[in-house]
Structure 1
Amino acid sequence: MPLTTLTMRTGRDAASKKELLDGVHDALVRAFGIPKNDRYQYINEVGPENWDESRRDGEILVEIKAFAGRSVDAKRALYAHIVDNLSACGVPPEDVFIVVHDLPMENWGIRGGKAACDVDFSFRIDV
């Protein structure tokens, strides 16, 4: 149940944004083994007045909040898949920044206020 946020400059059309979200989600499915329908994604668009002028306009920050437990190899695979998928969308690899926040399952309140550590999931976390 990763929560994904893409932060980018304003200016991309709806189809481009959907393609970026699809690319990140595909990478999560492939690298972390999450279900295809487990999708919590958001886009933050930053106007030019709030964009650091030293940054390129096409840069994208991908932040993923996920249950703790994924291996370093799974994270490496995730990073590679995200960069490959976003490259296919026209984003140069050097313009992709990825941060994974591993959060203990007891820090997640889900499914009507249950601690995630008390929920039986249909997928593995320890990949």
Structure 2
Amino acid sequence: MPAAVIEVRRQYTVDEEIAIIDAVHRALVDAFRIPPEDRNIRLIVHEPHRFGCSPELAHPEYRTIVTIDCFVGRSLDAKRRLYADIVERLAVFGIPGDHVSTILHEIDRDNWGLGGGRAASDVELGFTVEV
């Protein structure tokens, strides 16, 4: 049930944008063992002047931030797998690993509303959060 936002500061082709979204989704499926059909990912392309970054970056046009909201319960090992897998999968697009930041926001299930106006804690998710 994670919700992810990928923010970039350069244009990609439509096919590349779809592939970047797919790459982050596959990393979530592999690391957090969410169902493959559980997909909630957005890609935001910023104009470079609206997305400041360190002048120390070798290729600032490739600066990428992935922010993921998810339920509390994943192990540190699962989080490490996620971080490494995202970097590895984004490298295919020429994005240097040191240009990627992944920010994980863990949210208690009581604080996440699902379709139908129910708290996630009141819903059988269909997968285990504790991985």
TM-score normalised by the chain length of structure 2: 0.92
Uncovered stretches (5+) of structure 2, i.e. residues with no partner: none
In the TM superposition, structure 1's runs of 4+ consecutive aligned residues that sit over 4 Å from their partners are none
| 2: CA distance, partners of 1:52 / 1:78 | 25
Superposition deviation, residue 12 in structure 1: 1.2
Pair 1:5-2:5 in alignment: yes
- Give the partner amino acid of 2:69: K
| 1: CA distance, partners of 2:29 / 2:88 | 14
Aligned to 2:96: 92
**Length, aligned pairs only:** 127
RMSD in angstroms over aligned alpha carbons?
1.2
The SS at the match of 1:120 is coil
Pair 1:102-2:106 in alignment: yes
Superposition deviation, residue 2 in structure 1: 0.4
Uncovered stretches (5+) of structure 1, i.e. residues with no partner: none
| 2: CA distance, partners of 1:13 / 1:30 | 26
| 2: CA distance, partners of 1:121 / 1:11 | 36
Instruction: Tell me, yes or no, if the aligned pair for 1:63 and 1:101 is still in contact at 8 Å.
Output: yes
| 2: CA distance, partners of 1:88 / 1:46 | 21
What are the superposed Cα offsets for residues 97-127 of structure 1, whole Å, 9 maximum, x if unpaired?
Answer: 1001000001101021100001011110000
| 2: CA distance, partners of 1:96 / 1:14 | 21
Pair 1:122-2:126 in alignment: yes
Aligned to 1:59: 63
Instruction: Tell me, yes or no, if the aligned pair for 1:23 and 1:85 is still in contact at 8 Å.
Output: yes
Superposition deviation, residue 26 in structure 1: 0.4
Counterparts of residues 10-25 of structure 1 (less than 5 Å): 10-25=10-25
| 2: CA distance, partners of 1:108 / 1:51 | 28
Instruction: Tell me, yes or no, if the aligned pair for 2:10 and 2:62 is still in contact at 8 Å.
Output: no
Residues 37 and 65 of structure 1, relative CA distance in 2, 3 Å threshold: same
Superposition deviation, residue 57 in structure 1: 1.0
